[in-house]
Amino acid sequence: MPRLYGPGHFTEDPYSQAISPHGVPVDDLVAVLQKEIRRSRIDNAVLAAYEMFITSPDVAQHLWRRLQLIAVEDVGMGLPLGPVLIDVLHRNFDDAPGGDWMMACHAVRLLASAPKDRTSSEHADWVATKVALGEALVEVPDYAHCVHTRAGQELGRGLTQWWDNGAQVRDELSTADHRYRDELIEIHRRDEAENGTEPRPSRWQAPPRLQTTTDM
């Protein structure tokens, strides 16, 4: 009986059938690249990346797809702007005919030398697994029903309630300047005192009803 979780059979991966100029299966190169970046083993990670780069243009682009994944899956909060940096380096790589290898090398070194944090990957896998098992589902708390939702409007909630409730934030920047907010709150309170919370007539034509998975 096959396992329920994890990757499919290797034959589903076209790179398991591709071989580098020096005889290394490309799926092995991908595995080496990611494991060595996780372990901060820079030199062998760069060698794996170079072998992918010289194999073919398609495999070179697969290298970048893997680096984009690693920036989130393995480095994560250790370098929060890592995905942005990898994207910029990828663009610079593509700007050169045949690809600028130095950009790829720098991307690998950047990720391999960064602090590592796999919690985004773990969280993503946990959520998908628990929802599939029927053991977790998003909650809709009362404070989500604000003036921006149908339920909130049907409850008669306006912007005053939103400022008091829906706009609350935690971990707020200690230097936040709220002079604009305070003036807006006063304007909105005055509006609701004079006109109530009934929304203005819609300026837009209602879109077609969205199709959901239950419709399929």
**Claim to verify: residue 27 and residue 89 sit in the same structural domain:** yes
Residue type, 35: K
Residue 2 in domain: no
- Quote the CA–CA distance of 63 and 46 in Å, as a whole number: 11
User: Which are the contacts of 48, defined by CB distance < 8 A and separation ≥ 6?
Assistant: 29, 30, 32, 33, 36
Among the listed residues 107, 124, 30, 112, the one whose alpha carbon sits nearest the alpha carbon of residue 73 = 124
| Of 5 and 146, more confident | 146
Prediction pTM value: 0.83
Number of domains in the chain: 2
Question: What would the pLDDT profile of 154-206 be if each residue is shown by its tens digit?
Answer: 999 999 999 999 999 999 999 999 999 999 999 999 999 999 999 988 887 76
Residue 127 in domain: no
DSSP annotation of 8 reads -
Query: Would you say 164 and 147 are in contact if contact means Cβ atoms under 8 Å apart?
Result: no
Query: Would you say 188 and 147 are in contact if contact means Cβ atoms under 8 Å apart?
Result: no
Residue 42 in domain: yes
**Claim to verify: residue 104 and residue 160 sit in the same structural domain:** no
- Quote the CA–CA distance of 162 and 167 in Å, as a whole number: 6
**Claim to verify: residue 39 and residue 97 sit in the same structural domain:** yes
Residue 200 in domain: no
Between the alpha carbon of residue 66 and those of residues 49, 108, 111, 201, the distances in Å are: 10, 10, 12, 49
**Claim to verify: residue 68 and residue 161 sit in the same structural domain:** no
Q: Mean per-residue pLDDT for 15-38?
A: 95
Residue 209 in domain: no
Residue 38 in domain: yes
Residue 204 in domain: no
**Claim to verify: residue 40 and residue 102 sit in the same structural domain:** yes
Residue 113 in domain: yes
pLDDT at 211: 66
Domain containing 32 equals 10-118
pLDDT at 213: 62
